Chain A
Amino acid sequence: MKPMKLAALLTVIVTGGLLLFATSDLPDWGDPLSPANASDLSTYYIQDSRDVTEVPNLVTAVLADYRGYDTMFETVVIFVAGLGILSILGQGKCEEPLAQPVASEQNRERDMITIITCRLVVPIIQIFALYVIAHGHYSPGGGFQGGVMLGSSFILIALTSGLPDALKRMSQERAIFLAGLGVLIYAGTGLVCMALGRNFLDYEILHKLMGGTGVKARYDSMLIVEIGVAFTVMAIMFIIYAVLSSKGRMRGGL
């Protein structure tokens, strides 16, 4: 293994030296007039996107509206990753004994203090996650962050009172259903736009269904899309944990 390490070191030093040399051509850190910062596109987003969408958080506006196509397929990537993990490790057919003694499954006494605290804390986390999803237009947050927080609240249940307890609340089938539902909500919004005669994910036309003006339709459909993202992310985060912590058996766990 020694020559391999030497070759790696050589590669890294050469590549790093070249990249360090190339940094002299980059614009200064924090330069407001660098090509990326002074481009017409970013100036447009900063100056005009609030008038067009009524959303003060520019990141949400660009994420869910202008770059909605990109975000939709990122959601699909997450969905596919969850399915891939399930198909690599899932099945629950593996017969080799558990790494830890089976006692951890049922008999091990769970700690009362942590369970009670988590019962206290999990609803607060979930409410805060819903707040993050719904308030993403005005503050940092949105579907991805809220979804991860919702997923981690289920992970917290699985960590304290055991994976079976968490699977009772969010079974594998339900998680996959919710993940698919999230993608369906996102793509369905786009398809409704198409059905009304505009391009895919061009929310402005949705005011015919929701009432109000085109601007309000964009504002509202961003929330719908974020909810779809949150469903997918929540379900997939929980599936990843549930599969990895139980080697795909969906029982036992940490």
Chain B
Amino acid sequence: MIWSFDIIVLIFLVIAAVIALSVRDLLASSMVLGIYSFLICILWAEMGAVDVAFTEAAVGAGVSTVIMIATVFQTTRKSKD
């Protein structure tokens, strides 16, 4: 564990979460959620949870983002809030 690195990544995490929820384009929202997942993956690797980080890298950046984008593509891209 490296506490300074940890604090920086955590602040980025909050920024990414707020952007993912405040942006009006749902496609952009899904992409930012992918970035959020990757930041969390970095955080877990730093905390020593390598297995969890590996899973999150495969799931969050791979499958989760893709199925989210597939849904946005099949339904609608616009959001009112």
Contacts and interface: CB of A to CB of B under 8 A. Distances in A.
Direct contact of A and B (CB under 8 A): yes
A60 B54 CA distance: 13
| Contact-residue bracket for chain A | 20 to 34
Interface string A113-155: 0000000000000000000100000001110110011011001
Contacts of B51: 57, 59-60, 140-142, 145
Interface in A25-41: 30
Given A140-B51, A142-B51, A245 B70 contact: yes
Contacts of A159: 66
B59 A254 contact: no
Given A30-B1, A148-B62, A99 B54 contact: no
A14 B62 CA distance: 36
22 contacts: A30-B1, A57-B51, A99-B73, A99-B74, A100-B73, A132-B54, A140-B54, A148-B55, A152-B58, A152-B66, A155-B63, A155-B66, A159-B66, A237-B63, A241-B63, A241-B66, A241-B67, A244-B67, A244-B71, A244-B74, A246-B74, A247-B74
Interface of A: 30, 57, 59-60, 99-100, 132, 140-142, 144-145, 148-149, 151-152, 155, 159, 237, 240-241, 244-247, 254
Interface of B: 1, 3, 50-51, 53-55, 58-59, 62-63, 66-67, 69-71, 73-75
